[in-house]
Chains A and B, each alone.
Chain A
């Protein structure tokens, strides 16, 4: 009798150990895979999408935004698309976002991964404040920067004159012509991609990237001293204490020490 219960116990322990072992192996592969697929930063999300990190855990992948889109702009990532599986995205060069004023894709979101309040001003939906991405120009391939007249992106822009403006510059090569070059303004650009769609070059010279990718950040140490509003940022600035060999002494001391500085 005793040997039977002991065998049962051993069997049970072995069973649990096997389960744990397979779980550990599976968990390793699973988490590695998930880590890889969610690491892709080059995905353009629908308007109102919350920050990518939060988006990935909040989006339930139901496709209601995709069904709501009247232009078939939005797609659900399927295996082989190399995007986080089942999440909505769009490719502006194929079909850009046409910036519907009633933004049908956002209110249908059941989870709040598309946040209505982020595209609302004064209680009304406002697609112009959407931040799906930011258009950037590669001026080497943009023919307007060559001196050939083209303002396709400027004309295509739904926030004409604000998100893209045209800058005039003298063309020194001919001496009598002007460069009419497009400039994107990040504060107005929604990242809809109509410019990318309209671009006449073989591969678009103006294209939309996620803001996280296409924007830099000056940090708290560079302040526009002439701008009262910008100076306010100093309040959040963190102090950094450097701890190098030199910074142990005061600046004056290091000058007077007579030793080599480096």
Chain B
């Protein structure tokens, strides 16, 4: 039992955060709870603290909108928070699309799609192109370009306010990740993930690899949605410094040899200096 818990503890916490947040957002609209109101684009906590999606604010800026103080404060709070805990913690701990793409990745592993589709025909840098493109379209057309197509918003709004035909978009993403491209949406295309990869560059919470414990079983690389960040497995005892790591902690859980764990970045660097 305790091994089972060890294997899934972070997954449990992640799903609790994701679904818990969704529930509180839902309750705000359905029963008027005031814990957290709005949605992931912009929310209010306890009717006082504003939170805003910094990427949405950036698009508004590019589109030439006048940005209200609440949005600036809210976007700053979110940006600073993710600068500390690792930008893409949003992706694996909050974003509801993660539930869909994780399910697709799980099914993909179970039915063994990767056994015959080894080659990944797309670059993970695509998200930065999409990010740039979204700002360009926002600027040229005077609208928040990604916010009008974002599957994240479609799903999150859908759960809170009613999804309409949005389920079709979710099905497309599921099938795309399952059959076309492994970790296709979250790991290749999503510009919000790209945005947090950039802002979380210097974040403090990092996964750390202990090479001396590693048996090179590569279980971590199999579950990792961004396996390029784990290039050091079995080679070097260093933290995962790429901000494309979503801090989902699946690698820590699947590791049988205690070769991976969370650490704070600064401490790691200090320790190195001390040696």
Contact = CB atoms under 8 A, between A and B. Distances in A.
A237 B13 CA distance: 66
A67 B71 CA distance: 18
A171 interface: no
B33 to A, nearest CB: 10
A54 B165 CA distance: 27
Interface residues of B, number: 57
Interface residues of A, number: 40
A56 to B, nearest CB: 5
Contacts, number: 149
A108 B44 contact: yes
A63 B125 CA distance: 32
Q: Binding site of A, secondary structure by majority: helix, strand, loop or mixed? A: helix
B25 to A, nearest CB: 9
Contacts of B168: 79
Contact of B37 (A23, A54, A64): A64
Contact of B137 (A31, A63, A76, A81): A31
Interface in A177-229: none
Interface in A1-40: 15, 18-20, 22-23, 26-27, 30-31, 33-35, 37-38
Contacts of A67: 28-29, 32, 37-38
Contact of B60 (A20, A66, A111): A111
A108 B34 CA distance: 13
Among B38, B138, B141, the most chain A Cβ lie within 10 Å of the Cβ of B38
B29 A60 contact: no
Nearest to A80: B165
Contacts of B133: 23, 26-27, 30
B64 A78 contact: no
Interface string A79-118: 1110011100000000000000000000010111000000
Interface in B105-151: 123, 125-126, 129-130, 132-133, 136-138, 140-145, 147-149
A61 interface: yes
Contacts of B43: 62, 64
A247 interface: no
B250 interface: no
B180 interface: no
Interface of B: 28-29, 32, 37-39, 41-44, 50, 52-53, 56-57, 60, 63-68, 70-71, 74, 123, 125-126, 129-130, 132-133, 136-138, 140-145, 147-149, 153-154, 157-158, 160-166, 168-169
The 4 A-B residue pairs whose C-beta atoms are closest, nearest first, are A78-B164, A80-B165, A62-B42, A57-B63
